[in-house]
């Protein structure tokens, strides 16, 4: 099993108040979904300053989760409400909501299908227009199904899905056709011990965005004050 590490290209500021649940890179901006009861939001963020120039605050009874763009719309999951919110990409106007069964965790789009994590050992494949469930497949490591509650934020890149392994310093690189984990990415060296000590409980690695122009990833964590531009290289 290959083990990769993030090679840091540049470090950017990140809002320490942002409990990062979903992260995407689009048109020169980061779009971020932040969670927690009473603090959930949708944000458009200037990467150089780390400041949001547009913030939509969700009602207190929604805990926001994964985020993805499909065409001229943004889709934002919620944790336990069973509702996905669909917004206009430019204005953040709420266009509609979609009901689904189970929990919402991570979300990514490969140009054909949506891939969704839901607290289980499986990834759901959904229709990007209707959100209808097409298939659910188990994620495996060395042929064995991984434990539940690991697959968190997702990012689709080529033939792979990159998934934060919740409550760990690892990112899984998953073959999207077979569900097999093809590499482990160890991001434990991104923060110093002192930086980790300053974090509040639950402030774990979470958030993966792909920039196809530079072919680099942006990764951060919940309430981290830094965002890292990286490439993944052999350890």
pLDDT single digits (tens) 32-41 = 999 999 999 9
Phi, psi for 6 (deg, rounded to 5): -80, 125
In this prediction, residue 8 carries a pLDDT of 98
State yes or no: pLDDT of 61 exceeds 90: yes
In this prediction, residue 174 carries a pLDDT of 98
State yes or no: pLDDT of 145 exceeds 90: yes
Query: Mean pLDDT over residues 138-148, rounded?
Result: 97
Confidence grade of residue 176 (pLDDT, cut at 50, 70, 90): very high
Q: Per residue in 179-230, pLDDT tens? A: 999 999 999 999 999 999 899 889 999 999 999 999 999 999 999 999 999 9
In this prediction, residue 116 carries a pLDDT of 98
In this prediction, residue 118 carries a pLDDT of 97
In b/e form, how buried is each residue of 179-218, taking b as 16+ CB within 10 angstroms?
bbbebbbbbeebbeeeeeeebeeebbbbbbbbeeeeebbb
Q: How buried is 235 (Cβ within 10 angstroms: 0-12 exposed, 13-18 middle, 19+ buried)?
A: exposed
Secondary element (H or E) of residue 195: helix 193-197
In this prediction, residue 230 carries a pLDDT of 98
State yes or no: pLDDT of 232 exceeds 90: yes
135 has which bridge partners?
125
Q: What global pTM score does this model have?
A: 0.96
Rounded-to-integer distance, Cα 79 and Cα 81, Å: 6
In this prediction, residue 195 carries a pLDDT of 93
122 touches 178 (CB < 8 A): no
Helix (H, G, I), strand (E, B) or coil at 190: coil
Domain boundaries, position 181: 3-234
Domains in the chain, number: 1
- Percent of the chain residues topping a pLDDT of 90: 97
In b/e form, how buried is each residue of 133-165, taking b as 16+ CB within 10 angstroms?
eeeebebbbeeeebeeebbbbbbbbeebbbbbb
State yes or no: pLDDT of 1 exceeds 90: no
CATH of the domain at 179: 2.120.10.30
Which 8-state DSSP code applies to residue 92? -
Query: Mean pLDDT over residues 72-89, rounded?
Result: 98
């Amino acid at each position: 099993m290959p083990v990769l590490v993030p090679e840091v290209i540049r470090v950017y500021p990140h809002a320490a108040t942002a409990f990062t649940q979903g992260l995407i890179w689009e048109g020169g901006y980061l779009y971020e979904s932040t969670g927690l009861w009473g603090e959930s939001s949708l944000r458009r963020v200037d990467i150089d300053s780390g400041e949001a120039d547009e913030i939509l605050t969700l009602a207190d009874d929604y805990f926001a989760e994964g985020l993805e763009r499909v065409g001229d719309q943004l889709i934002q999951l919620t944790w336990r409400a069973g509702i996905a919110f669909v917004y206009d990409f430019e204005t953040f106007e709420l266009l509609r909501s979609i009901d689904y069964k189970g929990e919402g965790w991570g979300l990514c789009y490969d140009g054909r299908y949506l891939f969704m994590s839901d607290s289980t050992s499986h990834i759901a494949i959904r229709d990007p227009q209707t959100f209808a469930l097409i298939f659910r497949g188990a994620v495996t490591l060395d042929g064995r199904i991984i434990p539940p509650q690991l697959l968190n934020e997702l990012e689709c890149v080529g033939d792979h899905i990159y998934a934060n392994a919740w409550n760990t310093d690892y990112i899984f690189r998953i073959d999207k056709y077979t569900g097999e984990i093809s590499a482990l990415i160890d991001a434990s060296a991104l923060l110093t011990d002192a930086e980790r000590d300053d974090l509040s409980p639950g402030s774990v690695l979470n958030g993966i965005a792909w920039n196809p122009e530079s072919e680099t990833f942006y990764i951060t964590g919940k309430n981290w004050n830094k965002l890292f531009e990286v490439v993944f290289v052999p350890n």
